A and B are shown apart, each in its own frame.
Chain A
Amino acid sequence: MFLSRTDRQLAALLQGCALLAATIVLLILLFLIKESWPVLQHVALTRFVIDASWHPVQGLYQLTPMLSATLYSTLGAVVLATPLGIASALFSRYFAPPFIAGCYRRLIELLAGIPSVVYGFWGLITLAPLIGRLHPPGVSLLTGILVLTLMILPTVALTADAALAAVPLAYVRGAAALGLSRWGLISGVALPAARSGIIAGTLLAAGRAIGETMAVLMVVGNVVQQPQSLLDSVRTLTANIALEMAYATGVHRAALFVSGLALMVMVLVLVSTAELLSRKRHYG
């Protein structure tokens, strides 16, 4: 392929950036493996599942309660935030008058800008006591899911909105000329056309939910136990690291890095699933 001089320089620059980004990700992965090696070396991988409990200092490394807590809280938040976010985007794109839609969009952007600690604080002061009335102690998986939902909602809403905005006007005119109702346009044409963008946004939101530490830590109670109901206290993988890192040494510290590795694997699975999903039946 022929490239002019400026194109060659640009290509070199961009290649450099891409290489740097990829190297950083790989280095992080290597670092995680290196730091967790003291544990991985002596402890079979199955012990992270079959051990009786999480007491790394005594040599018990069960991670499943925390894995489940992370999985359930993320899943719960995505399940709640996705329909709400898409509905919000549909409202601002197809039903709200332009002025209201503009104000509404600014408001959602504001929601995205609130620091996570503020969400956590609000959840602890307001939401937890409310849920506590239902079933003490109030700091629970449900509280975590609700706070996370609120936090990732703007991500889903804004990316879905952008994906819907990118649906060509010709489709809108074409659908109208065929006598399609607004819902017919949305369900038959706009959502399928915006599908990959909406999936990408949901994935981004799910990634944020998996990684969110502070807000979740403040509202879920942090008891290491396999949740039996939504109202049980739980501890997520991220909270586990944040809570114990201050005093962890030796194998304990290495075990915490295994938590980090587990998070990374979860994100990897998530990304691959989303990739598969958006490839299937793609008509763009």
Chain B
Amino acid sequence: MSHFINNKSEQVDKSNTDDAYTLGPLQVGLPCCMPEPLIRVDNLSLHYGLKPALEDVSLDIYKGCITALIGPSGCGKTSFLSVLNRLTDLIPDCRISGNVHYDTMDLRHPALDVQRLRRDIGMIFQKPVPFPLSIRRNIELPLREHGMSKQAGLNDVVQQVLQDVGLWEEVKNRLESPALALSGGQQQRLCIARALALQPKVLLMDEPCSALDPISSGVVEDLIQRLRGKYTVVIVTHNLAQARRIANYAGFFWIKDQRAGCLIEFGQCKQIFEAPVHELTAAYVNGSRG
């Protein structure tokens, strides 16, 4: 993945065979039984100004799996996600220490091509953010930005990703109408489609269902399930039942000493929910704390 670094862009990585992959209708991928770390985080700490937000977090994100991050509000889960696609760059006086690697690439390298990285590591926000453009332009905009300009190709991708998220039948006759006129659930699926259009390897999801009604939430949850295997998903959720249903791995964050968030326990989802090691985890997943 050294082509991410600007000054070594001529080197092409041989190990990355996924480049030939074209989006087809999504199928449920293989259950992730090959725990191969794609993102490795070591001793990550994060400060906003003088205020610590994360302290000494170390965990691995496994390729093709769904990793759920759970814990109370304000314990740094969203900050953690923002580190992984360098969205923290947008926040002035945000300081990060520790090591974060994506595949073989140092995510904190100053010369990292951030735009290229964010194409590989997409993000879905809690509140869906369709741009004030037409449905079609919403998906085309990032594609054009990343160098795809042939209209025929764009049309194909638009149809493909909208089918992938199950939105095609609902919007195929009004692709030119404003995206903001869609319902909340449709908007969120459009945002996922827009992220999928860039053929990312990783999707970071920050409470993607919490602003949606239960039915839309269920649709999006099914969609996330179907992403397993083809994409590596990291999802922050406050819905413990949801985490339990969809995740392969789970990490439990907690606010230590009233100041910084930290990772209390990380492991297989089943183990976190059924046999937590730490007493805080047990209290949280049983609903008696947090």
Chain A residues near B (Cβ < 8 Å) = 98, 168, 170-181, 184, 188-189, 192-193, 283-284
Contacts and interface: CB of A to CB of B under 8 A. Distances in A.
Nearest to A172: B90
A44 B134 CA distance: 50
Contacts of A284: 132, 180
Contacts of B89: 176
A178 B194 contact: yes
A180 B145 contact: yes
Given A177-B118, A181-B115, A171 B142 contact: no
Interface string B247-264: 000000000000000000
B85 interface: yes
B146 A177 contact: no
Interface string B113-137: 0111111001101010101111000
Interface of B is mostly: helix
Nearest to B181: A283
A171 B132 CA distance: 9
B87 interface: yes
8 contacts: A168-B129, A171-B132, A174-B191, A178-B142, A180-B141, A189-B131, A192-B133, A193-B132
B180 to A, nearest CB: 6
B178 interface: yes
Contacts of B131: 171, 174-175, 188-189, 192-193
B195 interface: yes
Contacts of B133: 188-189, 192, 283
Contacts of A171: 129, 131-132
B165 interface: no
Contacts of A179: 114-119, 142, 145-146, 198
A262 B125 CA distance: 53
Contacts of B134: 283
A180 B125 contact: no
Interface residues of B, number: 31
Main secondary structure of the interface of A (DSSP, over half): helix
Given A178-B195, A179-B119, A179-B198, A184 B132 contact: no
Nearest to A177: B123
Contacts of A283: 132-134, 178-180
B145 A188 contact: yes
Q: By CB atoms of chain A within 10 A, which of B89, B117, B131, B133 has the most?
A: B131
Given A174-B131, A184-B145, A188-B131, 19 more contacts: A98-B92, A168-B129, A171-B129, A172-B90, A173-B87, A173-B129, A177-B123, A177-B195, A178-B119, A178-B142, A178-B145, A179-B118, A179-B146, A180-B115, A181-B115, A184-B141, A188-B133, A189-B131, A189-B141
A283 B179 CA distance: 8
A100 to B, nearest CB: 14
Q: Which 9 A-B pairs have the closest CB atoms?
A: A174-B129, A179-B118, A177-B123, A178-B142, A283-B178, A283-B132, A179-B119, A184-B145, A179-B115
B145 A181 contact: yes
Contacts of A168: 129
B122 A178 contact: yes
Interface in B173-213: 178-180, 191, 194-195, 198
Contacts of A176: 87, 89-90, 118
B90 A173 contact: yes
A129 to B, nearest CB: 48
B198 to A, nearest CB: 7
Contacts of A175: 131
A172 B87 CA distance: 10
A170 B123 CA distance: 12
A279 to B, nearest CB: 13
A177 B179 CA distance: 18
Contacts of B179: 283
Contact of B125 (A98, A173, A184, A193): A173
Contacts of B115: 179-181
Contacts of B90: 172-173, 176
B189 to A, nearest CB: 15
B160 to A, nearest CB: 17
Contacts of B127: 170
Contacts of A193: 131-132
Nearest to A182: B115
A245 B270 CA distance: 89
Contacts of B132: 171, 189, 192-193, 283-284
Nearest to B120: A179
B138 to A, nearest CB: 10
A170 B124 CA distance: 11
B106 to A, nearest CB: 18
A281 to B, nearest CB: 9
Nearest to A284: B132
Contacts of A172: 90
A240 B119 CA distance: 61
